[in-house]
Amino acid sequence: MSLENETKQTESPLEKAKRLKAEKEARDGANAEAEAEKQATAQAKTEKLGTLNSHKQDLENQLNEIDIKIEASKGEAHETRDTMQEAGLDKDSEFKDEYDLTISEVAGNLNGLRNERNEIKTKLEQINLEIENFGINEAVSEGKKETQEAVSSADQENEEAISQVKNYPGAEAGDIKTAEEVAAETSGKINQTVENSEKTVNELVNNNEKIEKGEAQELKEFKDFKDFFEKNTEGINGSKGLSANEFLKNYLSEKYPKMDKDSQEYNDKWTGIALASKFNNINESPYIKSKYSKGLDFEEFKNNRKELTEKSNLFNVIGKVKAQMLEKKTETQEYQKNIIEKIKSDEKYKNEFTENFKNNGFKAGDSELINNLYAKGLISIDDVAKGLAIYEKEGISKLRNLSPAILENLNQANINTGDGQKLPFKILLDKYAKDENTHPSLETKNWPEMTLAYAAPAAFATRIAGKRFSNELAQVWNENFKQLTDKIVAKGPECAADLVKNLGGNLEQSILTDKRLKIIVGQYAKHRFGKIGGNNGEMVAAETSRRLENLVEAGVMTREEIDNIYERALE
């Protein structure tokens, strides 16, 4: 009989009651302590996650701020360069050094900001990873802590076990040695167990595939269907005029002859194969190939099918538009090259071309051709001015694509008005700039962007006029335009789409006049690309993409800026 039982047999009911009370209190105390520790751990976890999220928010804010600074710095850098180039500082030996120094300075500032952005982005990526894996990291850290506690206890017990044998009456040196060997063996086994579990956990944390349950049933079924399709389309008969749905019906009839065609099971088989087929197609799409180096996971496809399909379509639309634009550009270059060669070698053709230009103005995309012809001395400044003058107000918009060399000399040009008079070209600009209909009004409260759409070309004209002809009016125009742009930028994304739509063909001039409007372009694109899943979504995306590509062509936004917009839409 054990000592404990003997004690229990001799205790009185009162003693027993006291003992039980003490036992219960001890148990409750231990439970309360465990609960408190549990709550403290949960609280610490929540606080840790809160700190990470708050840090993330800070970094996101910093990223937004730096993006705005970069945009502003880019605008300033371009304006600095343009200002100096317009004055010819880059070609004047007296100012060339100052020019180079200033360019290096603005480039340095911009690079500094870009580096700062990269650092913030890296930190943000790290923190996102920490947040994403927070639960996993906590589980690992908790598991390691518990394991370590168990290892420490076992080590302590090993020491105690050896001491127990050493101090045991009658123990000999051989017994102590055996006890030490048992302790060492225990320690070795425990270390091996811990090492194995750490290895498994590490593999699990670093490899997603370990936890997949193998190939999905739908994919297996689809493979069988594909084999059936291939087997039945071999030889000269091909598909025998059967549609994919008919093949699927035949496949299911052959493989599951007893299955009721109206049953849920039959329906599930059918939709499963159709889904797997779509998965197969999307996995081959350029978007998925560029984003998922190991291919898309079927589960992810099932969970995010709509989003993935839309992004894949958007990717295709953008790629198609880019290819079309490139083809068009190559064609245009070829067209220009041919015309220049013909003008050079054929005097009659040259005269016909010039007369046609003076009387009918620009054909679409002809600005670059005129720039080239002027640079090669194949068209005079008077003829260019005449070609512009036929447009009256619209002639202003033609100015924006002309080379600085033409713009520099336009004030020397005279327009033959047809009645024998010759007017300086500046009259055209002044006339446009003074036109009340195009004056930007700050009174338009609801839709200042509409006013901006009208104001943009006028502001551009007066900007040129102000620089070339010292027109005081330019100052007023530019100030009004700036105030309008302030309002637009302050209104933010909600008016982006309407604004860009209303700006229409004047978008390029508006950006040239105020670089902050690039932000609005990004917001507009995001809004429009977001419609890809709706009716005519692909058409809308293509039109938007074309507009963005035109901005690159017009030189008002860089390739990098536009590609960033695409990238954000596809993120």
- Interface residues with another protein (CB under 8 A) are 132-133, 135-136, 139-140, 142-144, 146-147, 150-151, 154, 157-158, 161, 164-165, 168-172, 175, 178-179, 182-183, 185-186, 189-190, 193-194, 197, 200-201, 204-205, 208, 211, 297, 299-300, 303-304
Among residues 304 and 475, whose Cβ is nearest to another protein? Answer: 304
Residue 114 Cβ vs another protein, minimum distance, rounded to whole Å: 29
Among residues 175 and 246, whose Cβ is nearest to another protein? Answer: 175
Tokens of 91: 């070609």
As a whole number of Å, the CA-based R_g of the chain is 39
Residue 133 Cβ vs another protein, minimum distance, rounded to whole Å: 7
| Residues composing the chain | 571
Among residues 142 and 254, whose Cβ is nearest to another protein? Answer: 142
Residue 218 Cβ vs another protein, minimum distance, rounded to whole Å: 16
Residue 487 Cβ vs another protein, minimum distance, rounded to whole Å: 38
Residue 308 Cβ vs another protein, minimum distance, rounded to whole Å: 10
Residue 444 Cβ vs another protein, minimum distance, rounded to whole Å: 44
Residue 539 Cβ vs another protein, minimum distance, rounded to whole Å: 29
Among residues 172 and 408, whose Cβ is nearest to another protein? Answer: 172
Helix (H, G, I), strand (E, B) or coil at 414: strand
Residue 43 Cβ vs another protein, minimum distance, rounded to whole Å: 19
Among residues 160 and 246, whose Cβ is nearest to another protein? Answer: 160
- Helix pair 537-553, 559-570: axis angle to 10 deg: 160
In whole angstroms, give the CA distance from residue 287 to residue 92: 49
Residue 129 Cβ vs another protein, minimum distance, rounded to whole Å: 11
Among residues 172 and 341, whose Cβ is nearest to another protein? Answer: 172
Q: What share of the chain is helix, strand, coil (3-state, %, to 5)?
A: 80, 0, 20
Instruction: Please name the residue ranges forming H helices in 392-536.
Output: 395-399, 404-410, 426-434, 448-469, 472-491, 496-503, 507-513, 517-529
Among residues 51 and 192, whose Cβ is nearest to another protein? Answer: 192
HEC string for 16-82 = HHHHHHHHHHHHHHHHHHHHHHHHHHHHHHHHHHHHHHHHHHHHHHHHHHHHHHHHHHHHHHHHHHH
Residue 408 Cβ vs another protein, minimum distance, rounded to whole Å: 56
Tokens of 277: 């087929």
Q: Which of 208, 207, 157, 152 is nearest to 183 (CA)?
A: 157
Task: Give the C-alpha distances (Å, rounded to integers) separating 10 from 19, 106, 415.
Answer: 13, 95, 128
In whole angstroms, give the CA distance from residue 373 to residue 541: 36
Among residues 162 and 552, whose Cβ is nearest to another protein? Answer: 162
Among residues 190 and 570, whose Cβ is nearest to another protein? Answer: 190
Residue 134 Cβ vs another protein, minimum distance, rounded to whole Å: 9
Q: Which of 318, 313, 312 is nearest to 545 (CA)?
A: 318
Residue 302 Cβ vs another protein, minimum distance, rounded to whole Å: 8
Q: Which amino acid is at 102?
A: T
Helix (H, G, I), strand (E, B) or coil at 415: strand
Residue 6 Cβ vs another protein, minimum distance, rounded to whole Å: 22
CB distance 507 to 500 below 8 Å:
yes
Among residues 170 and 257, whose Cβ is nearest to another protein? Answer: 170
Residue 495 DSSP code: G
Among residues 175 and 215, whose Cβ is nearest to another protein? Answer: 175
CB distance 285 to 316 below 8 Å:
yes
CA torsion 171-175-177-180 (nearest 10°) is: -90
Q: Which amino acid is at 518?
A: K
Among residues 169 and 257, whose Cβ is nearest to another protein? Answer: 169
CB distance 540 to 528 below 8 Å:
yes
Q: Which amino acid is at 118?
A: N
Among residues 162 and 489, whose Cβ is nearest to another protein? Answer: 162
Sign of CA dihedral 321, 327, 329, 331: negative
Phi, then psi, of 378 in degrees rounded to 5: -95, -5
